[in-house]
Amino acid sequence: MGLINYNIEKYSPQQLVIIPLAILAVSLVLLALTMASTGMPVTPGIDFSGGTAVTIITTDTREQIALYFADYPLSDVSDMNNGKFLKFGLMDEAKYKSLTSAINQRYPDSRIDQIGETFGKTLQSQAVLALIFSFIGMAIVIFLSFRTFVPAVAVVLSAFADMVMTAATMNIIGIPLSLGTLAALLMLIGYSVDSDILLTNRVLKRQGKLNDKLTGAFHTGIIMTSTTLAAATAMLIVSWFGSIQILIEISAVLLIGLLFDIMNTWLTNVGILKWYVQKGGGK
């Protein structure tokens, strides 16, 4: 692939990692700010905070919809390709039942998901656990398979940076943490280490000049990420046309994460590896 010319020979490890580290720092600050205001590093969506999400297929305008649901705690209306995605705040059981009837009456072609507050809380604590366990599990696998400290740390750090930057971007562009986006974040843990493992393997286990090995690894690695990007883009386009909220969110988060992964693999991870090899580690 001749599109991008990857040549980092003239850059020192410090120069390579400075940009990603700065972005990582900014992202961490952003997450801390969100944490201070909402109690969670990422804004929890309806799945975790409780509420009702409704997809309707309609040509009604926002005003018409707001008017029709004036009696209910409608908090947000967003546009989809050929419908609207509505969010409602918490309500009691009787109110919710009347809302279901109201929706069925005017918008029979709909999808409703309601999560109560306590159920949301339970999901939230499990979600946090799942994220932590996944990350620790990934780190253990990486350390066990590399058995050398610095390269393993480089991979784990890159994966960590991927997730933190993705989460911060989700906050900025307003994608909430839902069951779907949680799944996407977990998938990123698995994806992001793919190209890192390839890179580390090439650099540490092959003979040859460091720069040639890096260029070779980049050729393979960038195509790996591009294929996944292509699959995620395809999913995003189709789900946008089909107004499938959960798939839109999953694919958007995957796209963001994969773009950060390119940076973290080929700057962060490469930077640390270069420093490690120049210092005399590896072959």
Which residues inside 176-205 make contact with another protein, applying CB under 8 A?
A: 179-180, 182-184, 186-187, 189-191, 193-194, 197-198, 201, 205
CA nearest 270: which of 104, 99, 150, 143? Answer: 150
Our finding on whether 58 is near another protein (CB under 8 A) is: no
Taking the least distance from each CB to another protein, the nearer of 18 and 141 is 141
Task: State the minimum distance, in angstroms, from the CB of residue 12 to another protein.
Answer: 28
Our finding on whether 4 is near another protein (CB under 8 A) is: no
Q: Which of residues 153-172 bind another protein (CB under 8 A)?
A: none
User: How many CA atoms lie within 13 Å of 260's alpha carbon, on the beta-carbon side?
Assistant: 31
Euclidean distance between CA atoms 34 and 138, whole angstroms: 26
* Tokens describing residue 107: 């918008």
* Tokens describing residue 70: 């004036």
* Overall size of the chain counted in residues: 283
Our finding on whether 134 is near another protein (CB under 8 A) is: yes
According to CB under 8 A, which one of 34, 239, 264, 269 is a site residue for another protein? 239
Our finding on whether 219 is near another protein (CB under 8 A) is: yes
Phi (first) and psi of residue 270, to 5 degrees = -60, -40
Euclidean distance between CA atoms 63 and 76, whole angstroms: 12
Q: In angstroms, how far is the first alpha carbon of the chain from the final one?
A: 28
Q: Which of residues 243-272 bind another protein (CB under 8 A)?
A: 244, 246-247, 250-251, 254
Taking the least distance from each CB to another protein, the nearer of 37 and 59 is 59
Task: State the minimum distance, in angstroms, from the CB of residue 232 to another protein.
Answer: 7
Our finding on whether 102 is near another protein (CB under 8 A) is: no
Q: Identify the bridge partners of residue 56 per DSSP, sorted by sequence position.
A: 84, 110
Our finding on whether 137 is near another protein (CB under 8 A) is: yes
Taking the least distance from each CB to another protein, the nearer of 67 and 223 is 223
Task: State the minimum distance, in angstroms, from the CB of residue 40 to another protein.
Answer: 16
Asked if 41 contacts 35 with a C-beta cutoff of 8 angstroms, the reply is yes
Number of residues interacting with another protein: please give it, by CB under 8 A.
77
> Reduced to 3 states, what is the DSSP secondary structure of residue 193?
helix
Helices and strands in the chain: count of H runs, count of E runs = 10, 4
Task: State the minimum distance, in angstroms, from the CB of residue 66 to another protein.
Answer: 22
Our finding on whether 175 is near another protein (CB under 8 A) is: no
According to CB under 8 A, which one of 85, 113, 211, 259 is a site residue for another protein? 113
Q: Identify the bridge partners of residue 177 per DSSP, sorted by sequence position.
A: 44
Relative orientation angle of helices 270-278 and 179-205, to the nearest 10 degrees: 30
Span of 11-19, 66-74, 100-108, 273-281 interacting with another protein by CB under 8 A = 100-108
